[in-house]
A and B are shown apart, each in its own frame.
Chain A
Amino acid sequence: MAGLPPDVDPYAGQPLAVQAAFLKLRSGFLAGLPQRWVEIEAAPSDAARQQALHRLAGAAGSYGCTALGEAARAAEQALGQDSAVFVAALLHLQRQLQSQLQSQSQSQSQSPSPSPSPSPSQPHSDTVR
């Protein structure tokens, strides 16, 4: 089946209660992104890193974060290629991740709820294979 178009709210047009519940779930997913980045960056092996990228690729699109999911998929596919390709893919993923967190932060600043977790750090040299 086809995935979602780029970065959309799949529940737009749905009853308010459904939209609100989805946004709450999405907020939880976004709040977990910094931890996902740590798991990718600090993965003890290529296999563990592939798992982390694979899970992010599968999850992000279903939460309406299509560009982030595609960036994770590209990084997963670049894992077996040379390090320059992989680092470029990882940097692109990091930018997408920061962009999602920034958007979330901006939307939360309009409400009294607490701000999201800090942005992910720069890729460490040990992520470069």
Chain B
Amino acid sequence: MSDLRRVMCVEDDADIRMILEFSLGTVGGYEVRCCAGGRSALQQAPEFRPDLVLLDVMMPDLSGPETLAALRELPVMQGVPVVFMTAKAMPDELEQLLQHGATGLIVKPFDPMTLPTDIRPYWEHGRGRPAA
């Protein structure tokens, strides 16, 4: 049975990328690839072949929803869970984000100690499912 090994993080803030890499890589033991924007993620996804993607919502080049739509066009991304990371906490905004076809949401700030285990349920329940 395959396991959750490779996690791609798409985030425009360098400090958040660093704490993500530390949390998921050093603490969680995952292979982590951090991208500073949606276009970079689209370029790197076919080679990295992530098992799960953490995707920021507000980014300057491509927004999270735009990136998600483009990622879903890639053959390698079919059935790969994509989880939005957002600082938006209003329930209607969260619901709107889920309607874009994300597997779930992680609210920022996240706890870097628990993030490695917090993402596992999204992978376990979301993998192999067609996009919404």
A contact set with B: CB distance below 8 Å: 1-4, 10-11, 14, 18, 21-22, 25, 28-29, 32, 51, 54-55, 57-63, 66, 69, 73
Contact = CB atoms under 8 A, between A and B. Distances in A.
A3 B107 contact: yes
A59 B16 contact: yes
Contacts of A62: 16, 19, 108-112
Contact of B109 (A25, A28, A60): A60
The 4 closest A-B pairs by CB, nearest first: A61-B109, A58-B108, A62-B109, A55-B13
A60 B13 CA distance: 11
A3 B110 contact: yes
Contact of B19 (A14, A63, A66): A63
B109 A4 contact: yes
Interface string B1-22: 0000000000011011011001
A128 to B, nearest CB: 24
Given A51-B58, A54-B87, A25 B18 contact: yes
A98 to B, nearest CB: 19
B13 A59 contact: yes
A54 B87 CA distance: 7
A18 B60 contact: no
Interface string B103-124: 0001111111110001000000
Nearest to B17: A59
A21 to B, nearest CB: 6
10 contacts: A2-B111, A18-B27, A22-B112, A25-B18, A29-B18, A51-B60, A54-B87, A57-B108, A58-B85, A69-B109
Interface in B9-57: 12-13, 15-16, 18-19, 22, 26-27
A22 B85 CA distance: 21
A2 B111 CA distance: 8
A1 B22 contact: no
A36 B48 CA distance: 32
B130 to A, nearest CB: 25
B109 A59 contact: yes
A28 B58 contact: no
A29 B15 contact: yes
